[in-house]
Structure 1
Amino acid sequence: MNQATRIIAIRHGETAWNVDTRIQGHLDIPLNDTGLWQARQVGQALADEPVAAIYSSDLLRAWATAQAVAQATGAPLNPERGLRERSFGSFQGRTFEQIEREVPEQALRWRKRDPDFAPDGGGESLTMLRERIACTVHQIAARHSGQQIVLVAHGGVMDVLYRLATHLDLQAPRTWQLTNAAINRLLWTGDHGLALVGWADTQHLEDSSRDEIHS
């Protein structure tokens, strides 16, 4: 009988481009001061959890977040390109407002979550992203039957994980949060794939110690 793999999925901490609503995609943007604090907080929140391994997108904002979790838990940290954010091609480096103004036809397809729309310049469609994430998570989780692992990735990846776990269509309106450094919990089995356990736990980010970085 297949034992479930317990998955803790974490979106990276905040970046300056998150604040500016600027598309990051595969561009390597570092965490800002708030993001570094969030990374430390999520690491501390997981410090007493049994973690067999951590897998992280190799992009700096995710990797730095994962390093904080690895330092707190002592679990081995592994880079995984398959956990990268969606490639946004020519959208990368532009704000939402710029995209709406400069390429309105593409912006409309993006806003309507057209599953087959891929931005110019090597962008991925939502269908391509879902296939990549489903395959990557299957391969990782299958190695850790009966164990708990941490996946550190990006907002687009978290969105796909939620949809896979709840069997929601790619075009279904999003009603769930994709908060930076929130703790999301899922189960994976070879027979049934992903199932949702808990989502967007941010209790560790409401700690009064945050005031220390603004004092």
Structure 2
Amino acid sequence: MTDGPAKQASLAPDSTRLLVIRHGETAWNRERRWQGHLDIDLNARGAVQAASLGPALAHEPLDAVYASDLQRARKTAEGMSHGRGLPVHLDPALRERAFGAFEGMLHGEVEAADPAGYARWRAHDLDYGPPGGETLADFHRRVLDAVTAIARRHLGQVVAIVTHGGVLDCLYRAASGAPMHGPRTADLLNAAINRLEYAGGRLHLVSWGEAEHLAGLALDEIDRA
């Protein structure tokens, strides 16, 4: 999904342009295994996806790069920032949602072990948290606080944020005005480029799901749930 933005349009001094990017693919993405806060590395395809981001953004201004401190996000950010001389600022608040006891399990295993909890997760129940994990409401609050702080720190600039599928879902909903609960409607593709603008104290959707640089290599987040 993309609205074909004018990528070099002028930026107001009281707004921030955000390029928000999901990390490259991991083996656990392919296996339908819950990662959460577990520190899983990119697979070979994910490394290729990460390397493709630098050339895709080579002709665009970029003032700062932030990433989750989990290596799948950090390595994707490093691939994108290579050659620009920009450090990657690591922020644990950009991590995926904490799934507690479900981390490391396959989706089918979670559904079999806790069908009621799995159904609440798929329904995007704001009050539901896996055992030892975050509620969706707490996760949304963490993500939006972190991204808003980054945007305010870089008014008048362009910032890339490399993070996780669940984080992108939060940001898409906030920027598009979609409710924070219920089924999702946006693709969450590995290493696709998604554009937001922070202005007037809130996020605005510019475009979503630019994946031409991936040549069909992108994998969507598990299910539309």
Instruction: Give 1:212's aligned residue.
Output: none
Contact 1:165/1:195 (<8 A) preserved: yes
**Is 1:29 aligned to residue 72 of structure 2?**
no
* Aligned with residue 160 of structure 2, among 150, 160, 176: 150
| CA apart distance, 1:186 | 0.3
The 2-side partners of 1:84 and 1:43 are apart by 22
What displacement does 1:207 show? 7.7
Which digits, 9 at most, give the CA deviation of each residue in 1:90-123, with x for residues without a partner?
A: 11000110011111121111111111100002x1
**1:163-182 alignment, distance < 5 Å:** 163-182=173-192
- Cα gap change, 1:207/1:104 in structure 2, threshold over 3 Å: closer, same or farther? closer
Instruction: State the Cα deviation string for residues 154-202 of structure 1 (Å, max 9, x = none).
Output: 000000000010121122321210000000000002x241000000000
CA distance in 1, matches of 2:83, 2:107: 35
Is 1:7 matched with 2:24? no
Shift of 1:74: 2.8
Residue 103 of structure 2 is matched in structure 1 by 92
Work out the number of aligned pairs and report it. Answer: 206
Q: Which amino acid aligns with 1:9?
A: V
Give runs of aligned pairs for residues 92-171 of structure 1, distance below 5 A: 92-121=103-132, 123-171=133-181
- Kept in 2: contact 1:47–1:69 (CA 8 A): no
The offset of 1:43, in angstroms, is: 1.9
Q: Which residue of 1 aligns with 2:4?
A: none
Residue type at the aligned position of 1:81 = P
Greater displacement, 100-109 / 143-152: 100-109
CA root-mean-square deviation: 1.5
SS at match of 2:213: helix
Amino acid paired to 2:173: R
Looking at structure 2, the residues matched to 87 and 11 of structure 1 have their Cα atoms a distance apart, in angstroms, of 16
Query: Would the alpha carbon gap of residues 172 and 105 (structure 1) be closer, same or farther in structure 2, given more than 3 Å must change?
Result: closer
Structure 2 unaligned residues grouped into runs of 5+: 1-11, 218-225
1:198 matched to 2:204: no
The one-letter code of the counterpart of 1:70 is S
Amino acid at match of 2:99: F
Paired with 1:127 and 1:72, the residues of 2 have a C-alpha distance of 38
Considering fraction of residues, name the structure with more helix.
1
CA-to-aligned-CA distance 1:6-25 (integer Å, 9 cap, x gap): 00000000000000000000
Structure 1 stretches (4+) deviating beyond 4 angstroms?
none
Look up the SS of the partner of 1:73 in the other structure.
coil
Distance 1:113 1:199 in 2: 21
Q: Which moved more, 1:111-120 or 1:170-179?
A: 170-179
Structure 1: runs of 5+ lacking an equivalent: 209-215
Instruction: Compute the TM-score of the two structures, normalised by the length of structure 1.
Output: 0.92
- Against the structure 1 CA distance between its residues 16 and 207, is the aligned structure 2 distance closer, same or farther, given a 3 Å change threshold? closer
CA–CA separation in structure 2 for the residues paired with 1:127 and 1:4: 26
Give CA-to-partner distance per residue, 1:50-71, whole Å, 9 cap, x none: 1110000000000000001111
Q: Quick one: which amino acid aligns to residue 174 of structure 2?
A: L
What is the percentage of aligned positions where both structures have the same residue? 46
